[in-house]
Amino acid sequence: MNSLLEFFGHQEILLLVLLVGLGSVIGHLRVAGVSVGAAAVLFLAIGLSAWGDAHGHKLIVPEHLGVMGLILFTFSVGIMSGANFFATLRQGLGPILGMVGALIAGAVAAVVAGKLLGLDPATVAGSFAGALTNTPALAAAREAAGNSPLPTIGYAVTYVFGVVGMLIVTSLALKHRAQDSDAPAPLVNCTIRVETPERPSIREIEQRHGGRIKFSRVRHGGMRFPVQAVSEDDVLTYNDLVTVVGPANEVEQVAEELGHASSHALEADRSELDYRRITLSNGKLAGRSVAELDLLERFGATVSRVRRGDVDMLGTDHLVIQLGDRLRVVAPRDRIAAVSAHLGDSARGLSDINPMALGVGLAAGILLGKVVFPLPGTSFSVGSAAGTLLVGLLLGHVGRIGNFVTTLPLTAAQAISEFGLLIFLAQAGTKAGSLIGAAFASGEWLRILVLGAVITLTVGGGVYLVMRRVFAMGGTKLSGVLAGTQTQPAVLAYANGRTRFDARVAMGYALVYPAAMITKILLGQILGSLAR
């Protein structure tokens, strides 16, 4: 066995892929219907590294590989969240402040519990960083404590429960996801017979409903006339048939305003007007709004829905489309092929990693992470992880700068984020596992473990209660907020696995992650300074 451990100690890449592969297999195993997913890679890495260290062999994945995995992960999360992040940021200020308050409560609990347990302030500072699984906070605590080894010991002992404890709180949040009130309403379509004498225009009705509905087909004047694509300038007259798409409650309101739901279904008549799901793979069109595609003028076509990942969105004029989006296009039968050729309709749109945006975005994020921000008596930098997340959010929001597409297809971003996550977890696990022996040899490990549990559960429980009771946040988004508060990719991976990559998870994570990272670094620095 010693020879095998020695062999893996000199084969860093082989060790990495073994941890990723075997850990992923373990992560798919279900106990009582629950699996830990990618977090299994972390726990396997901790156990194997600690075992090797106990036999005098260092099984460590190089740190630069872990950093690369982490920035791939955070940048991809930013890209996936950017399209909606800034639109919800104003509504998110309250939850961000609530999360910061929970972290401050965790720091206060650390000081009080540390004194009651008779632990050195430097150990308390490291325990705070480990209980909240934040390495930058550990670095800040060590520097403030005069590079004492005690913060590292506290970090190593509390790190594992920092992950497990937050996984428990996240699992509790996800138990309530069936009652989420913030779930996007499924889209329905309905053919309406117009009976109002008011002659409203399509633009007028869509504006009245705040862009939450979209008209896709119309038949003017009776059954002997053809079905046509809808223009905003169209005016509805008595006895017209029109198809509207949107959430069920909005569609019902439109039906009451205009007349009644008809027994005729215009979408079933495909003799003149047809529809098809078309994948956007033409990079020249990515990052543009539906209106900017100008499909009605060029082809007599409209976009009724856009499917991104597993989510259907209304094809409103202002919706910005991305590579890999699947557009439900309504067009004359003889123009469908032309529309398909124009949009691309290639599987490449689902998998193109857009290396230019990926490379430039990662470089900009790393540089942003190295910027030093001065504070009274100290300074700090947000680090590469937060830097790449922020740049990813910005690029995902912008979509296009001139001819430069700034986003990645959702499927490609998901694949990159998962790959980067697994690499990071393997490296982080081997690093933590190599410190476990020293931590247990300190003789204070049990008291440190209790302190870590107090901190993790104070923060996790505080965030859970504030988000649920004060902001009435749904369990799905809350799971992402908990992962972002913990700045822990393993918790995010668990939430994504349980929800099948529900977009609200990434939104919650991206909403609080930057503020959580900065707050924990500052609190780690403050706690570390108490040791001097």
Say yes or no to pLDDT of 69 above 60: yes
pLDDT digits (tens, 9 = 90+) for 234-276: 899 999 999 999 998 899 999 999 999 988 888 888 888 888 9
For the cut 70, the answer to whether the pLDDT of residue 175 exceeds it is yes
Phi, psi of 455 (to 5 degrees): -65, -50
pLDDT greater than 60 at residue 33: no
Taking 90 as the threshold, does the pLDDT of residue 134 lie above it? Answer: no
352 band by pLDDT with thresholds 50, 70 and 90 = confident
Q: What is the DSSP letter of 466?
A: I
Selection from 506, 464, 511, 467 nearest residue 489 by Cα: 506
Mean pLDDT of 19-48: 78
d(CA 350, CA 209): 32
Question: What is the rounded distance in angstroms from the CA atom of residue 317 to the CA atom of residue 92?
Answer: 26
pLDDT of residue 4: 81
How confident is residue 31, by pLDDT bands cut at 50, 70 and 90?
Answer: low
- Strand pairing partners for 242? 192, 218
| Local structure of 20: helix, strand or coil | helix
Question: Are β-strands 378-380 and 326-332 bridged in parallel, bridged antiparallel, or unpaired?
Answer: unpaired
Q: Return the structure tokens found at 30.
A: 């279900």
Structure confidence at residue 58 as a pLDDT band (50, 70, 90): confident
Q: Residue 265 has what pLDDT?
A: 86
What is the Cα–Cα distance from 447 to 444, expressed in whole angstroms?
Answer: 6
Residues contacting residue 409 through CB under 8 Å, at least 6 positions apart: 322, 323, 324, 349, 350, 351, 352, 354
pLDDT of 152 reads 74
Helix axes 489-499, 63-116, angle to 10 degrees: 100
C-alpha closest to that of 251 among 205, 220, 296: 205
Q: Which residues pair with 302 in a beta bridge?
A: 330
How much is the mean pLDDT over the chain?
A: 86
Per-residue pLDDT at 160 exceeds 60: yes
Which has the higher per-residue pLDDT, 231 or 458?
A: 458
- Residue 411: its pLDDT value, please? 86
Closest of 99, 21, 82 to residue 516, by C-alpha: 99
Distance CA 253, CA 260 (A): 10
Q: What is the CA radius of gyration of the chain?
A: 27
Q: What are phi and psi of 382, to 5 degrees?
A: -80, -20
φ/ψ (deg, to 5) at 207: -65, -35
